[in-house]
Structure 1
Amino acid sequence: MEWFISCMTTNYFNFQGRARRKEYWFFTLIIFLIGVLIGIIASVLGLEESTIKMIQLIWGLVLFMPALGVQVRRLHDISRSGWWILLNLIPIIGPLVIFIFNLLDSTPGDNEYGPSPKY
């Protein structure tokens, strides 16, 4: 949970440095779990579809910058520029390549984006 809180507070607009796999995947897991929880609560309360869509829109807007930041820092951790995130614009193949990048281990030691957060 500390990784999620860090991304949502101190690293909200941070595109510098590096983010470990652990930070990225815990952030992604918490986002997913909170999304499922919102869906369950909305179903139990019997909210209208327009209200649910508004909640999802607000949640997406709140998460946009921290998610972008942690993804860029994750790419920095494997010695890739943050511009590689634009691969997501290529249907099917782009998101698959980014997914594979997110599975790769950190570049050992320092790289051009800073010291390794792993060591």
Structure 2
Amino acid sequence: MENIKKLPSLTLGESIKSVLGNLTNFKGRARRSELWWYWLAYFIVMMVLAFVLGAFPVVLSVIAFLLQLTTWSVTVRRLHDRGHSGWWVAASIIIGLISNIYIMQSGYYEAMSTINPNIEEATEVLRGPVFPTLGFLSFIVNITIFVFCVRDGKPEDNKYGPSPKYVPNELADE
């Protein structure tokens, strides 16, 4: 470990540039600073876009999906930095999709979108076994992803590539 040097954290600008330069790259590794700075920028951009494009939901949805793709890729690369599989992100996406399909097909929206919403019918959908189970699974998977992403990356190379934070001394001086 003595012939390895730790690079300084990325700045907000460096992080955004790195993530946007790896838009759909789900291979390799990403540093904590890259992930968290990008998530902050993503949150701010999405808030502004929601305010500005709120009257154009289709345009907002397309832009939001493209930006969400970048958050998935950097999160997968962050998991790789710890030596974990990107399938955790896929599991989170799949659980979210199943939850949305279930809610749309359950009659919840119809019950809640009338002039006099039928609260009993809507809450019955939420009280059944499916929605709480999906919520619990989503919670477990997303907390796991969060914990993996918070922890420091492995300094040694792993099956996903070399460390983006810890480099050999001879490379750090270049």
| Range class of TM-score, shorter chain | 0.7 to 0.9
Query: 1:58-97, aligned counterparts within 5 Å?
Result: 58-88=62-92, 89=95, 90-97=137-144
RMSD: 1.8
Structure 1 moving runs of 4+ over 6 Å: none
Corresponding residue number in structure 2 for 1:17: 28
Structure 1 length-normalised TM = 0.81
What is the identity, as a one-letter code, of the residue corresponding to 1:93?
I
User: Larger radius of gyration, structure 1 or 2?
Assistant: 2
Show structure 2 runs of 5+ residues with no match.
Answer: 1-12, 96-136, 167-174
Structure 2 length-normalised TM = 0.57
Identical-residue share of aligned pairs (%): 37
Show structure 1 runs of 5+ residues with no match.
Answer: none
8 Å CA contact 2:50, 2:60 repeated in 1: no
Aligned residues: 111
Deviation track 1:8-63 (CA, whole Å, cap 9, x = no partner) reads 2x201211110011111111010011122224445xxxx63xx2x23430221221
> What is the rounded CA distance, in whole Å, between the counterparts of 1:58 and 1:84 in structure 2?
24
Query: 1:2-41, aligned counterparts within 5 Å?
Result: 2-8=14-20, 10-41=21-52
Q: CA 1:16–1:27 in structure 2 vs 1: closer, same or farther (change >3 Å)?
A: same
